[in-house]
Amino acid sequence: MLTPTPLMGLVTGFWSFKTFAAAVELDLFTHLRDGRTLTVAQAGAELGLSERPADLLLAACASLNLLEKDGDGYRNSALAEEFLVRGKPYYFGGQVTYCDQRTYLPWHQVTDALRTDRPLTWDPATQESMFDTADPGMLQSFWGAMYSTSIFTARALAGAVDLSERARLLDVGGGSGAFSIELCRALPGLNATVLDLPHVCTIAADNIAQSGLSGRITTEPGDFLSADPLPTGHDVVLFSMILHDWDEPTNQALLAKAYAALEPGGVVVISELLLNADRTGPAAAALMGMNMLVETEAGRNYSDAEYSHWLTAAGFTDVRTISFDAPGANGAVLATRP
């Protein structure tokens, strides 16, 4: 029998996120690090909560598989221990905090974005782009969020796409450097250049230094949207979670620049949450497209068929799509410069 139960799941979806975000804000998982088990009373005392809210929070986090019950106490699940303990190498809390502080409230006015076709998280009349902010805390939060998501997306890409014969990667809009770092870790023969705005390159350089890969990864300050050509001398050009920020003409221009910059036989890699050809899903890609409505002037998520068409028009050959599962992408479209 058809019931509205699936609709109720959609209605209450924000309950899960806000419970999760509150637990991260309170640093619950850091309090439970290294196998600690706390009762409701103990957790409440450490978090500054009375018994009722502490009990409700712990029970809710257990229901979300973030905590496990052990007798009268709770401890971190393996997922929380690995990714939600502050200070650990792959801390994912930056992504949670960014979405909670930057995008959650604007999403409440998503109907306005639908009606006006204007972003909600920044004002195009006073700011050059969504990345233009005078708030250093928000900038740090954004790049922290992108880094934690990109690490595991890059690992999935490295496992799915054979770049073992490639020597020089240009990471266009490489941000905090996560893709270059993880790809170079996976491929000892690869060197990389991160191309991004000067203040972003500073963040990337710090991460590269901490990774111990400064001898193989460099940064190139620049604006890939400018009329300047992309740096040459590379046999791979990577666009990871970049092209969904822009409209079709901008993306076609970027792919033409990639073609001009690549050496013959070089490959372009587009890593994204790809829509299917008839634009009915998957949900992660379609909903990321809605987030592009909230956060960009012209961005949207595209299908691999659309990317294939643009790549062919730019002169690329051997266009193919490779699927994988990762936090920031579900596949990559590759093409070769003849």
Q: Which residues contact 121 (CB under 8 A, 6 or more apart)?
A: 102, 103, 106, 130, 294, 295
Token readout for 320 is: 């193919």
**What pLDDT score was predicted for residue 163?**
96
**What pLDDT score was predicted for residue 136?**
64
**What pLDDT score was predicted for residue 183?**
97
Residues (pLDDT < 50) of the chain are none
pLDDT digits (tens, 9 = 90+) for 2-38: 999 999 999 999 999 999 999 999 999 999 999 999 9
pTM of the model: 0.93
In this structure, the number of other CB atoms found within 10 A of the CB of residue 248 comes to 14
Domains, the chain? 5-85 (1.10.10.10), 95-336 (3.40.50.150)
Of the candidates 260, 282, 263, 131, the one whose C-alpha atom is nearest the C-alpha of residue 203 is 131
Which amino acid is it at 271? Answer: S
Interhelix angle for 136-160 vs 198-211, to 10°? Answer: 60
Distance CA 195, CA 215 (A): 16
For 307-332, letters b (16+ CB in 10 Å) and e give bbebbeebebeebeeeebebbbbbbb
81 CA to centre of own chain:
21
User: Which active-site residues does the annotation give?
Assistant: 244
**What pLDDT score was predicted for residue 205?**
96
